[in-house]
Structure 1
């Protein structure tokens, strides 16, 4: 069994409790996604499939996702989050797999952002302007002009953006994003607008790339769903159902369903798991299909690590 791409055969789908990550750029009020977070601090991220997320349903209830994965000989391959920035995130970069291993890390971090909410005029910074590289980045950090080197991309609800490893990037306020990424938290902070947090310039300058494949991804209509992105590490699709009934959802690798709007139920043959906005239902085995039962209109995402 490939430990990276675990196939937890014999384990039915289960619901996870989100884990809330406090961030200086986050919010205290995450409604309508979450009524409460369990903290009065600023929350920037809701981790839906984080290693520390606790199983809420079925015989594995009370265990962390990390413990479940370890007991079954692997690691869940995708980290899915919802991001809630009220202020600018730092300008940062992630290594690819080869770079990460050379720096003593397990793997790199390739990710994507699906825009759930966006205020008028909202943008993300994605990539460097033509001609800019490590030398220019280092000089701009010193002079406090880093933002002027970035390509600022307008975003709207429904946009999907690919964030290739090595892409210098930053997220601005006025958006809520569904992030799907490799299970990795290797982040090198290049610039933080004068906030007193540690920078990782040496490593960041080593791994940044002047040009990458990052950018907006056009959706593709498929048979019964919309393909938002298809990459080496993840495939993300959106299902929009407007009536009562059942929807068969296939998984060709381990993954999860994330509720976006409305409510449904994931049937597994032994029971059911509620599918609600802001929570993930893990489908731990590839090569299977699950049934989503809908009582009315519902939208949800399928995030899969392809094999």
Structure 2
């Protein structure tokens, strides 16, 4: 009998996802102590935690890609409310040794104009930061599009950027259309729409392709980008809740397990990702046994997951990331 969504499981157990290490010219050869990984050739700048090509590491579907799981079992993964069966979020760890390009991402409308399914709104949660670390999120007040064009041509675009100092624990929201850049000195957990469209405006003469016309078409002089104030609730801290995603810190005490990650206002279960920003944890249930959560690792919790407990097995700092669906407009 072929494997289908109907006959695999009524409930689908959580599973760990294998990270995918992606080469970037601005990255590091050695990712220690963040990951036990050393680049053989091109430096590594991004660790993709939920990319479609990432492999499932545990459970009965081990060896399949995350993209294959969503294609085969969209309802089990996403629940009833999802508008499509696509994997909704791409989650990465960004480790920059040099400045990234000055860039912009398209919104949904512009991405679809050029044949892509969706645009790219994202956020950055600062896992670590050196003294003086900065990112650019938006343009300074009063900057015109003509000034942006002149900055691209003259190599002075940095002068128009709104720079933000960053510290561990900060959350920065970067909506589509925001001219932005990541500078060295911080390690970021990036949550974004599942899209890797980047239009480079300026790249410090590194010889990579630029996308001047599309970047100018996508760029907005004013956006919602900037630092987000955390909202502290009784059982969690909401770091950001936007149109496409919600990112939260969930306390798990060593002395007892956390058995509920759902909020009272969540009427139906949906997909969640659990990321260990620090330390290690374990998911445990009579229904599926245990799933280990290593430091800087991620576990996918399908919408159809059985009830489980989360245990702190050593200094766990737990981040929960869930997709949101934008309201449809006529």
What residue number does 2:321 align with? 303
SS of 2:259 mapped into structure 1:
strand
Do the aligned residues in 1 keep the contact of 2:17 with 2:56 (CA within 8 Å)? yes
Do the aligned residues in 1 keep the contact of 2:254 with 2:311 (CA within 8 Å)? no
1:266-293 Cα offsets, whole Å, 9 max, x none, are 1242121111211110012179754212
Quickly say closer, same or farther: Cα 1:286–1:80, change in 2 above 3 A.
Answer: farther
> 269, 272, 290: which one pairs with 1:272?
290
What residue number does 1:52 align with? 53
**Structure 2 unaligned residues grouped into runs of 5+:** 1-8, 75-84, 263-268, 326-330
Do the aligned residues in 2 keep the contact of 1:240 with 1:297 (CA within 8 Å)? no
| Residue 259 in structure 1 maps to residue 276 in structure 2 | yes
Quickly say closer, same or farther: Cα 1:133–1:100, change in 2 above 3 A.
Answer: farther
SS of 1:245 mapped into structure 2:
coil
SS of 1:139 mapped into structure 2:
helix
Do the aligned residues in 2 keep the contact of 1:9 with 1:284 (CA within 8 Å)? no
Matches of residues 101-250 of structure 1 in structure 2 within 5 Å?
101-250=112-261
TM-superposed deviation, 1:9: 6.6
Quickly say closer, same or farther: Cα 1:36–1:219, change in 2 above 3 A.
Answer: same
> Which of structure 1's runs of 4+ aligned residues deviate more than 3 A?
37-40, 286-290
CA distance in 1, matches of 2:55, 2:233: 33
CA distance in 2, matches of 1:77, 1:37: 30
What residue number does 1:42 align with? 43
The structure where strand makes up a greater share of residues is 1
| Residue 92 in structure 1 maps to residue 109 in structure 2 | no
CA distance in 2, matches of 1:153, 1:61: 41
TM-superposed deviation, 1:82: 0.3
Structure index of larger Rg: 2
Do the aligned residues in 1 keep the contact of 2:244 with 2:323 (CA within 8 Å)? yes
Q: Normalising by the residue count of structure 1, what TM-score does the alignment of the two structures yield?
A: 0.93
Do the aligned residues in 2 keep the contact of 1:48 with 1:81 (CA within 8 Å)? yes
Deviates more, 1:17-26 or 1:232-241: 232-241
TM-superposed deviation, 1:263: 1.3
Q: Normalising by the residue count of structure 2, what TM-score does the alignment of the two structures yield?
A: 0.87
SS of 1:295 mapped into structure 2:
strand
CA distance in 2, matches of 1:25, 1:266: 35
Deviates more, 1:243-252 or 1:188-197: 243-252
**Structure 1 unaligned residues grouped into runs of 5+:** 1-7
> 284, 288, 300: which one pairs with 1:282?
300
Total equivalences in the alignment: 300
CA distance in 1, matches of 2:202, 2:58: 41
Instruction: Give RMSD over aligned pairs.
Output: 1.7
